[in-house]
Amino acid sequence: MSSPPSSLSASGGPDAALTLASFEEAIARLTQIVERLEEGELSLEESLQLFEEGVKLSRVSQERLDRAQKRVEKLLRVDDQGKARTEPFETSAGDDE
């Protein structure tokens, strides 16, 4: 039997990891999960736990990508005359991840 799935957070579980992980850490963890699942040596329960963690990390990562895309779109907007339009946007600690 293999060891239980690891998490990005020492004190929490996968949910704690979701809030603490940077985008890059989440992608690295997703890669680990895929590799473990592809090995095919996990029990059904372990596979389901890893799959659930992976789905959550995927969703959080996609939300972060969507926020980043919206920021880029705001920066690249132009008006009817082709001049750059700027508008302030709010930033938070979570946006830098």
What single string gives the DSSP state of each residue in 71-92? HHHHHH-B-TTS-B--------
List pLDDT tens digits, range 46-79. Answer: 999 999 999 999 999 999 999 999 888 888 887 7
For 39-60, letters b (16+ CB in 10 Å) and e give eeebeeebbebbeebbeebeeb
Confidence band for 28, pLDDT divided at 50, 70 and 90: very high
Asked if the model's pLDDT at residue 11 lies above 60, the reply is: no
Terminal C-alpha separation, the chain: 35
Report CA torsion sign: 67, 68, 73, 76.
positive
Mean pLDDT across the chain: 78
Per-domain residue ranges for the chain? 14-66
- Residue 21 or residue 19, greater confidence: 21
pTM (global) more than 0.85: no
